[in-house]
Amino acid sequence: MASETEVLASVPKQLWIGGPVDATGGGTFAVRNPANGEVLVEVADGSPEDAVRALDAAAAAQGDWAATPARERGEILRAVFERITARAEEFALLMTLEMGKALPESRNEVRYGAEFFRWFSEEAARIHGRYLHAPSGTGRILVHKQPVGPCLAITPWNFPLAMGTRKIGPALAAGCTMIVKPASATPLTMLLLAKLCSEAGLPDGVLSVITSRRSGAITQPLLEDPRLRKLTFTGSTEVGRTLVEKSASGLLRTSMELGGNAPFVVFDDADIDAAVEGAMLAKLRNGGEACTAANRFHVQRGVVEEFTEKFVAAINAQVKLGPGTDPDTTLGPLVDEQQLNTVSELVEDAVTAGASVRVGGKAPGGPGWFYPATVLTDIPPRARILREEVFGPVAPIVAFDTEEEGLAAANDTEFGLVSYIYTRDLDRALRVAEGLESGMVGVNRGVISDPAAPFGGVKASGFGREGGTEGIEEYLSTKYIAMT
């Protein structure tokens, strides 16, 4: 395994526009290690002019890339998958250094993120149209799929690789060029990915990466440019709404994967041990910093104490808080001080309102942005933690009596990304899954993400789907050709 110094040295520190280029004006910004707050490296701080340079490159490359045979596009994506897999340990260490998650979590993300390139390398050759006789008998109907054109992807910090590959894979497979604006907290993984894509034979200009502290300033000239035809964003609902408004003037194709407030519903006929195992995954995967993380635990009253006691016992036995690079660590730090403060405030608000802390509940202090795995009970309905996305390792548990109450409590949110239910009753599982107002449902499973499945939400959690056979459709336009 490469050392931290070697991994950081392998990453381009400039913008990536047909290769490494300096930012206009030569500005840089620091990328910090969440485990100690120290600066890892400085990277280029892109400007609006740099964003336009990237769009110039994307527009220039669009025609040739769209005309590249689908099989060739797929082979390049497959080659990138193989390169990521071959350098999995380097990617994992890099993600842990810039985002904080424990190395086992980073390794899982590398496997998951790489798989989008393999999946869409196969989907590139399966872009289908239709040919049929017009029912009126007046001619023929041809339905043809074409790439939408240059795309802008804005990715979050919590999954530095997978949130990019989930967008880049289908865009490139469809024949689109793409500009990626990664989160300023975690730009290094995306820069390394761009380098690997170039090594795998991706033509210059097809994929650009613009790093910058000023997301709004970077995206504004792109959203106003008629050459850009697609915007895809993963992040908060608040920012998503703003981006949709700004993209409206250009009538851009948009897909939005936004905030979540996932309910984890345990019925009294559930396998409680299995539910606890699923809860550990659904809550603590990625340190709780995931839009799919279970945010509210609704447990039927007859089993709520058993579930709570076993959940707390599992946390005490299995969770080790520490730097992500420590081989014994299972829970790393939060990404930055702001996130630490947000999590702390939500817990303090609940406790002040009367909630009980069963485990955790207080940051340990010292260097780094650490927060322990926490379980809260006796939470009043007015507590913010039941309404807001906590994005940290905190599990609020509330009891319900009937199935109808449990379903109503689960749906009592403006969000609708994912829900989790545990029950042994197949009829109940189907009934509740269909009644849940979310784009995805995990039945007796604590992890639902799969590159072969359509990922996305409803209500304030956004629209559009990523992954599965549906994912590539987000980057294709449908053209109808009428023939006599």
List, by residue number, the catalytic residues.
Answer: 257
- Rg, the chain, Cα only: 23
Q: How far apart are the first and last CA of the chain?
A: 63
Q: Are 180 and 207 in contact (CB under 8 A)?
A: yes
d(CA 272, CA 274): 5
CA 382, CA 379: separation in Å to the nearest integer? Answer: 8
Question: Are the beta carbons of 158 and 288 closer than 8 angstroms?
Answer: no
CA distance 342 to 344: 5
Sheet holding 394-400, edge to edge: 356-359, 374-377, 394-400, 294-300, 262-266, 418-422, 440-443
288: left (phi over 0), alpha (psi -120 to 50) or beta: left
The CA distance from 291 to 390, in Å, is: 10
Separation between Cα atoms, residue 88 and residue 113, nearest integer Å: 10
Q: Are 361 and 337 in contact (CB under 8 A)?
A: no
The CB-side HSE value for 285 (13 A sphere, CA atoms) comes to 20
Q: How far is CA 399 from CA 97, 269, 294, 406, in A?
A: 39, 15, 15, 8
Q: Following DSSP, what letter does each residue of 405-447 receive, concatenated?
A: HHHHHHH-SSEESEEEEE-S-HHHHHHHHHHS-SSEEEES-S-
CB atoms within 10 A of CB 458: 14
Length of the chain (residues): 484
Could you give the CA distance from residue 47 to residue 106 in angstroms, rounded to a whole number?
30
